[in-house]
């Protein structure tokens, strides 16, 4: 009788762990030793065919001038100075039967050729459809459109709880497809410093180099995250891994399926700051939490919704937010169109504010590289717009000309200009467009008085001609 009872308890536990359609899973503690001996094999068999190895190749030129000398090439052989190929391995997840694959941007960034290898060893060349450095996600498409591929269904990362069992699938160290298991160690990690959108699932499932872009799945075999990074002092897994929540992955994949080459996200049009314990007392909040509005851009969704400096946003929809990173994730994972309700505290009173979900307005960027001899020589600049400011994580109200890049060895680099610097004026002349800066640079000067904005601070500097 006891054996029969244990057997029935194990069957009941197994039934609870299997998918229950659209209904939420009930979380249970294994009732017996027999239940603990249950296998993850049925889940793995469903998941593994949709997880691939991503191979990226990049050809690099060796710039050593000796390599151009025929003597050295003759002495060391024809391979001396030849372009070198660098190869990197990562993982990816098939999310569409026609061969759409999601992986990490850092796996394929700068690659000349990319291919995927399925669990059954078949290889397919792919093209990069979309790259999004802000989330460290990229979407690939198999060039051969005749094949039908197995896919992983999207789960709901907002439904994860600390302690839930998850599996990580990928190709660590290039040894071949590997499955590890663990639990969700934390959710909503926002201070990791990996991507612009700081909101990660933390897990103790073993994640190692090569797992990047692979799948984190729940006990129903649904994709809940894309494994992205580890915290390690040795380079190997130490039980602290991070995955991008699948609800963010949905946004990027939807943009790729819609034919876009860039991800379109909702734009608030307000500057936000974390609520500290001191600010919580000032705003009469029960605890430090939420984000305080420090500035609102004219005609933005925030302005039209009536948000004002000093308002404290404590929730997006029904999800609480504790800092700007959490707000950005919750807000930008809403689909464009329609509205979202924000929980706002103003004057100690809570209310709801409806904000339109629309993209930031774009303007002609007119990207140019300043060639004239001046402190800006070698700087690539563009006209700022709300869309570009959002992309570069600048204040939504920023205006002027922004530095996109600074070439090595140029005067702009020597004078210390950086990506993200906003040029406001030169020699007391306001700089509103890139052509303004180009004209000023070409005019020349013995002394250059430059005013820029960097990191929210206005900086004045004087350079010799």
**Contact status, residue 375 vs residue 412, Cβ threshold 8 Å:** yes
User: Terminal CA-to-CA distance of the chain, rounded, Å?
Assistant: 95
**Contact status, residue 78 vs residue 71, Cβ threshold 8 Å:** no
The residue annotated as part of the active site, out of 55, 91, 132, 136, is: 136
Provide the β-strand partners of residue 459: 452
The residue annotated as part of the active site, out of 88, 106, 132, 164, is: 106
Beta strand extents in 33-122 (DSSP E only): 51-60, 84-96, 100-104, 113-117
CA pseudo-torsion sign 103, 105, 106, 111: positive
Beta strand extents in 221-278 (DSSP E only): 223-230, 241-245, 270-274
**Contact status, residue 201 vs residue 195, Cβ threshold 8 Å:** no
Identify the three-state secondary structure at position 298. coil
57: nearest Cα among 140, 115, 141, 7: 115
Q: How far is CA 247 from CA 159, 224, 225, 350, in A?
A: 10, 8, 8, 28
Q: How far is CA 446 from CA 426, 427, 434, 449, 461, in A?
A: 13, 11, 21, 10, 14
Identify the three-state secondary structure at position 408. coil
The residue annotated as part of the active site, out of 212, 237, 255, 385, is: 212
Residue 106 annotated among the catalytic residues of the structure = yes
Which uninterrupted H or E stretch holds 4?
A: helix 2-17
- Residue 158 makes CB contacts below 8 A (sequence gap 6+) with 245, 247, 319
Report how far residue 117's alpha carbon sits from residue 98's, in angstroms, rounded to the nearest whole number.
15
**Contact status, residue 19 vs residue 41, Cβ threshold 8 Å:** no
CA 450-452-458 angle, 5° bins: 115
Report how far residue 206's alpha carbon sits from residue 101's, in angstroms, rounded to the nearest whole number.
22
Which are the catalytic amino acids?
106, 136, 212
């Amino acid at each position: 009788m006891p054996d029969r009872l244990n057997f029935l308890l194990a069957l009941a536990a197994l039934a609870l762990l299997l998918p229950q359609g659209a209904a939420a899973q009930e979380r249970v503690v294994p009732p017996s030793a027999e239940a603990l001996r249950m296998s993850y094999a049925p889940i793995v068999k469903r998941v593994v065919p949709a997880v691939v190895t991503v191979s990226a190749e990049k050809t690099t030129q060796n710039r050593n001038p000796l390599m151009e000398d025929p003597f050295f090439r003759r002495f060391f052989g024809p391979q001396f100075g030849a372009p070198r190929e660098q190869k990197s391995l990562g993982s990816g997840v098939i999310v569409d039967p026609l061969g759409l694959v999601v992986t990490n941007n850092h796996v394929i960034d700068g690659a000349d050729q990319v291919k995927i290898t399925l669990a059954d060893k078949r290889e397919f060349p792919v093209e990069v459809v979309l790259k999004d450095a802000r989330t460290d996600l990229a979407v690939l498409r198999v060039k051969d459109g005749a094949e039908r591929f197995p896919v992983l269904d999207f789960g709901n990362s907002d439904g994860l709880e600390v302690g839930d069992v998850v599996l990580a699938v990928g190709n660590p160290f290039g040894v071949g497809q590997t499955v590890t298991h663990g639990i969700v160690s934390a959710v909503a990690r926002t201070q990791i410093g990996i991507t612009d959108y700081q909101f990660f699932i933390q897990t103790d499932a073993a994640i190692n180099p090569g797992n990047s872009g692979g799948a984190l799945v729940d006990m129903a075999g649904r994709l809940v995250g894309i494994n992205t990074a580890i915290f390690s002092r040795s380079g190997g897994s130490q039980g602290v891994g991070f995955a991008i929540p699948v609800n963010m992955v949905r946004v990027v994949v939807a943009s790729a399926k819609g034919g876009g080459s860039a991800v379109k996200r909702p734009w608030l049009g307000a500057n936000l700051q974390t609520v500290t314990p001191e600010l919580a007392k000032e705003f009469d909040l029960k605890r430090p939490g939420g984000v305080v509005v420090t500035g609102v851009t004219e005609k933005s969704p925030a302005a039209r919704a009536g948000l004002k400096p000093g308002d404290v946003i404590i929730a997006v929809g029904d999800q609480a937010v504790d800092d700007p990173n959490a707000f950005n994730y919750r807000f930008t994972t809403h689909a464009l169109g329609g509205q979202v309700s924000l929980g706002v505290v103003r004057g100690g009173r809570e209310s709801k504010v409806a904000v339109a979900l629309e993209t930031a307005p774009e303007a002609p960027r007119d990207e140019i590289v300043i060639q004239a001899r001046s402190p800006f020589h070698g700087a690539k600049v563009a006209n700022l717009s709300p869309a570009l400011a959002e992309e570069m994580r600048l204040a939504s109200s920023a205006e002027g000309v922004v530095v996109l890049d600074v070439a090595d060895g140029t005067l702009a680099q020597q004078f210390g200009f950086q990506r993200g610097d906003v040029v406001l004026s030169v020699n007391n002349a306001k700089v509103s467009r890139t052509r303004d800066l180009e004209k000023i640079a070409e005019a020349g000067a013995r002394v250059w008085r430059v005013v820029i904005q960097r990191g929210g601070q206005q900086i004045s500097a004087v350079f010799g001609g």
